[in-house]
């Protein structure tokens, strides 16, 4: 992560909040972190938009179930004054995924605009 880049630091904080089961179970908390034009290519291969994500995650996140674990450092790059790109790997219930997200600075703060999760095996790391 770049030294003292407040945009990258804010995006990392937002990314970690999005992995928190408490945030994932709340449409209000999720909605504050997702850009109105949010879209995602999930690790399942499915395309999600903001509305489908807000409908799916709060009801599909088990409070006692598996939790996302970040298994590599989160690397951030400032692409423009109002755009940050993050990359990192996670483990969830034994499944590893490369993660990439774009965060945009808006009137309400940094929000995730795009996310992609790509599953991989340890041999491919």
Which domain does 74 fall in, by range? 6-124
Could you tell me if 34 and 59 are in contact, meaning their C-beta atoms sit under 8 angstroms apart?
A: no
Q: Is residue 119 part of a domain?
A: yes
Q: Which of 35, 43, 37, 33 is nearest to 13 (CA)?
A: 33
**pLDDT for 1:** 45
Q: Which of 68, 78, 76, 69 is nearest to 105 (CA)?
A: 78
Q: What percent of the chain has pLDDT over 90?
A: 75
Q: Is residue 1 part of a domain?
A: no
CATH number for the domain harbouring residue 81? 3.10.450.50
Could you tell me if 69 and 90 are in contact, meaning their C-beta atoms sit under 8 angstroms apart?
A: yes
Q: Is residue 31 part of a domain?
A: yes
Q: Is residue 65 part of a domain?
A: yes
Question: pTM for this structure?
Answer: 0.91
The predicted model gives 1-15 an average pLDDT of: 87
Give the model confidence (pLDDT) of 23-81 as tens digits: 999 999 999 999 999 999 988 889 999 999 999 988 888 777 778 899 999 999 999 99
The tokens 């709060």 sit on which residue? 58
Could you tell me if 115 and 100 are in contact, meaning their C-beta atoms sit under 8 angstroms apart?
A: yes
Whole-number Å distance between alpha carbons of 108 and 115: 19
Q: Is residue 98 part of a domain?
A: yes
Number of domains in the chain: 1
Q: Is residue 71 part of a domain?
A: yes
């Amino acid at each position: 992560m770049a030294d003292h880049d407040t945009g990258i630091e804010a995006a990392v904080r937002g990314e970690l909040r999005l992995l928190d089961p408490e945030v994932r179970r709340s449409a209000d908390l999720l909605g504050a972190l997702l850009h109105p034009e949010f879209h995602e290519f999930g690790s399942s291969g499915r395309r999600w938009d903001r509305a489908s994500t807000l409908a799916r995650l709060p009801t599909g996140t088990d409070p006692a179930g598996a939790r996302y674990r970040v298994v590599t450092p989160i690397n951030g790059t400032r692409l423009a004054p109002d755009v940050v790109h993050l990359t990192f790997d996670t483990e969830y219930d034994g499944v590893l995924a490369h993660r990439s997200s774009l965060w945009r600075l808006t009137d309400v703060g940094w929000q995730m605009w795009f996310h992609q999760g790509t599953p991989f095996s340890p041999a491919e790391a």
